[in-house]
Amino acid sequence: MRLYEFEGLKLFREAQIPIPEFTVLSSIDEIKDIELPVVVKAQVLSGSRGKAGLVIPCKSLDEVKKALKEIIGKEVNGEKIEKVLIETYFVDKAAEYYLSITYDTSSRSPIALISKKGGVDIEKLASGKESVKSVQIDPMKGLQPWQARQLLSEAGFSGIHFLSITKILLGIWRVFQKHDARLVEINPLIETEDEEFFAADAKIILDDDADFRQTDTNFPPRDVLGKKPTKSELAAKEIDANDHRGSAGSTYIELDGNIAVIAAGGGGSLVNMDALMALGGKPANYTEHSGNPPREKLEKLSKIILSKKGLSGVWFVGATANFTDIYETLSGFVDALRSIKPKPKYPIVIRRGGPRYEEAFKMLEEVKRKEGFAFHVFGPETPMTSTARTIVDFANKFRKKR
């Protein structure tokens, strides 16, 4: 989960990381006493706000009101701006720095990064004259003060920076560890002419898989674009919440199309979605199941997917599995079909392979014969993506008949 800047700043404040004075507004009517100058910043989850004109310095109250009118309600990268942050604007800045702690998949451990140059285009630093220095953190021992000081020295810091920035870097580590974060970033860390330091931004990404441990911090659910999840998305997520036997529902995104998709997990699900859309198919959802989820979990997920109105077909697709019991998962899907009882019976294209798939296909044939479901079944001898054309053609024909 990505946090909004104001949410991240609150976590910084709890960790005793110095931050500017700020307030969060949703409308011009909420403006109260503001100590000028300030900077008005749109609260969005996408990056590059400065380049998009969503960070506006203001010297007067009229400029603040004008900025709010320009920002609130605007849509950027598919995300509607509903809140703005107004914080102290540091006119006389001595410097801007970059600090972060993130998880490195190569070393499978957290790493701390620091640069003497922060602000816009930080991602270009590694290839320029300014470099980003890093140190690997032992997750059992945590970031040690001597490591922070050594990192500062390597990055070219000295004097007052050793004391002040070491404290801030250790504070970032506390936020990272306490809240099960994947990334905690300050960009920029501002140094004033008076040699004071303030985190002028907060970018934090939390690990969704650790939600069950974060009982004290309840952030409203949202997707990567800040959109509130639908009832179906929330219901799908609940399937895995207290049942860790395989995965079914943790990844579920509701879309506007008419072809329901039940995909097996991994890269294959993305490849199949690409194939479907390249052929003009319009998916009604994106979801996947992986591991070896039991029959009842596939039934719950399938019910959510099949309950959507206006479907013209279903595509149950996946590669040849090694550990997934194909009979169990397809039995759960059939249970959902029997419960939903779609009328008229739209086409259902199934492509699967793996343990017990032949037994599963015999079961599907029997169900088709007795209950009339429009199954079109393909085994591992048929490429996954080739069945995308099959479901698109069937779905188009079904729509014309309705």
Determine the average pLDDT of the residues in 210-223: 80
Q: What is the pLDDT of residues 285-304, one digit of tens each?
A: 999 999 999 999 999 999 99
User: Helices (DSSP H) in 114-159: which residue ranges?
Assistant: 145-154
Cα–Cα distance for residue pair 402/397, rounded to 1 Å: 9
Cα–Cα distance for residue pair 201/199, rounded to 1 Å: 6
Please list, in sequence order, all residues whose beta carbon lies within 8 angstroms of the beta carbon of residue 209, skipping any fewer than 6 positions away.
Answer: none
Radius of gyration for the chain, computed over Cα atoms and rounded to the nearest angstrom: 26
Q: What is the pLDDT of residues 122-131, one digit of tens each?
A: 656 555 545 8
Per-residue b or e along 196-212, where b marks 16 or more CB atoms closer than 10 Å to that residue's CB: ebbbbbbbbbbeeeebe
The pLDDT-based confidence of 363 (bands split at 50, 70, 90) is very high
pLDDT given for residue 229 in this prediction: 87
Closest CA to 184 of 126, 84, 112: 112
Contact present, 286 and 261 (Cβ < 8 Å): yes
Q: What's the mean pLDDT when you consider all of the chain? A: 93
Cα–Cα distance for residue pair 319/352, rounded to 1 Å: 6
97, 98, 100, 103: CA torsion to nearest 10: -160
pLDDT-wise least confident of 74-83, 204-213, 223-232, 355-364: 223-232
Please list, in sequence order, all residues whose beta carbon lies within 8 angstroms of the beta carbon of residue 142, skipping any fewer than 6 positions away.
Answer: 173, 177
Determine the average pLDDT of the residues in 263-279: 93
Closest CA to 206 of 174, 181, 175: 181
Determine the average pLDDT of the residues in 311-324: 96
pLDDT given for residue 127 in this prediction: 52
Asked whether the predicted pLDDT for residue 252 surpasses 80, the reply is yes
Render 314-338 in DSSP notation, one character per residue: EEEEEEE-SS--HHHHHHHHHHHHH
Contact present, 297 and 347 (Cβ < 8 Å): no
Q: Which domains does the chain have, with CATH numbers?
A: 1-19+91-219 (3.30.470.20), 21-89 (3.30.1490.20), 231-401 (3.40.50.261)
Query: Which pair of structure tokens corresponds to residue 142?
Result: 């945590």
pLDDT given for residue 128 in this prediction: 52
Per-residue b or e along 327-349, where b marks 16 or more CB atoms closer than 10 Å to that residue's CB: bbbbbbbbbbbeeeeeeeebbbb
CA of residue 166 relative to chain centroid, distance:
30
Query: Which pair of structure tokens corresponds to residue 374?
Result: 């429009």
pLDDT given for residue 294 in this prediction: 97
Q: What are phi and psi of 210, to 5 degrees?
A: -105, 15
